Amino acid sequence: MYRNRIPLYKDLEKRLDSKLLVYITSDRRGFETQIARDVIDIFINHLDKIGEAPKISLYLYTRGGETAAAWNIINLMKLYCDKLQVIVPHKAHSAGTLICIGANSIIMTRQATLGPIDPNVNTFLNPPIPGAPPQNTFPVSVEAVKGYLAFAKEELSIKDDAALASIMIKLSEAVHPLVLGQVFRSRAQIKMLAEKLLINQITDPAKIQQIIEFLCSDSGSHDYTINRSEAEKMGLKIDKPDEEMYKTIKAIYDDMSVELGVELPFDLTAYAQSGSGVYSIKRALIESVEGGSNYFVTQGKATLVPIPHHPGMPQMGIQQQGIHDERIFEGWKHEI
């Protein structure tokens, strides 16, 4: 809980001679949360209470999110400090990696990983997920589209213009043309942003381009993970915590994991059978010593409901039951 973490935050601030801001997005199955623009005002509130400082350290755990939000967070934090540092206790992938390369330095634990920054595009025009609610769509990976076209040209050796046009038509039948357009706009944007951010750590233009190509394309998969040794070899400014600092970083992560239930599967049936059926799941945290704790929470009520008998199906003798999930509240709350 937040109050248990305050002494750990103060200890880390003392060791780093820095002010600490914490941002965690949960990857608990069924309640995954991403970096999004709704956190910007919350960041501003925390930073205003911290005030301008020579150095601010962002403790970050995330699987990614909106590129524009990550870009906004980086530039916002730099307005409040002379030096920005990111602490990665475990995962800072995709848009999280974009935040990392925009800092002056990155502290990575042994288990910490970064990842490719090739963005996914997810709009209401994306391909629907079969059997899921209409608002649930497949994200379209920039590199997946590029890989599809490269496979046709390079592996299948298709050179004929008519054949290539047919392949593009087939692709546009599966993925809306406006989404494909956004995919390639996003690819150009992410490279431009990465180039602007990397100058905080690297001055060699050729090295910057090499890192961008690896993070955007050459890593081969959005799931590829980059440990601190590889990140250091790439040329990123990586710092390693000593054992005492590592214990503090790990203690913060362990406490947050328990509060967010990161390792626990969410069993809606158990809630429905528990009586009240009411549940409350924290999904993200933004915290500082000065600003308290902001947390994103989903609250709901699960109830067992009978499944109507289908006339065409044989009667089994036992009434089948399903689960009705009623969302009562979803949004940010604040705790001092």
> How much of the chain is helix, strand and coil, in % rounded to 5?
40, 25, 30
Please give the model's pTM, rounded to 2 decimal places.
0.83
The answer to whether the beta carbons of residues 323 and 269 sit under 8 Å apart is: yes
What pLDDT is recorded for position 74? 95
Cross-strand pairs, 321? 306
CATH 1.10.3210.10 fits 2-120+188-265, yes or no: no
Give CA–CA dist 126/132, Å, rounded: 13
Strands 238-239 and 105-108: parallel
The answer to whether the beta carbons of residues 91 and 64 sit under 8 Å apart is: no
Give CA–CA dist 145/314, Å, rounded: 46
Which secondary structure element, helix H or strand E, spans residue 267, and what is its range?
Answer: none
What pLDDT is recorded for position 326? 82
Strands laid side by side in the 278-288 sheet? 238-239, 105-108, 81-88, 53-61, 19-25, 278-288, 292-306, 321-335
Domain limits, the chain: 2-120+188-265, 122-181
Q: Output the tens digit of pLDDT for each of the chain's 336 residues.
A: 899 999 999 999 999 999 999 999 998 887 888 898 999 999 999 999 999 999 999 999 998 888 889 999 999 999 999 999 999 999 999 899 999 999 999 999 999 999 988 766 666 766 776 665 566 666 666 667 766 777 777 777 777 778 777 777 777 777 777 777 776 777 778 888 888 999 889 889 999 999 988 888 655 566 789 999 999 999 999 999 999 999 999 999 999 999 998 878 777 777 777 778 888 889 999 999 999 999 999 998 888 777 665 555 555 555 566 777 788 898 999 988
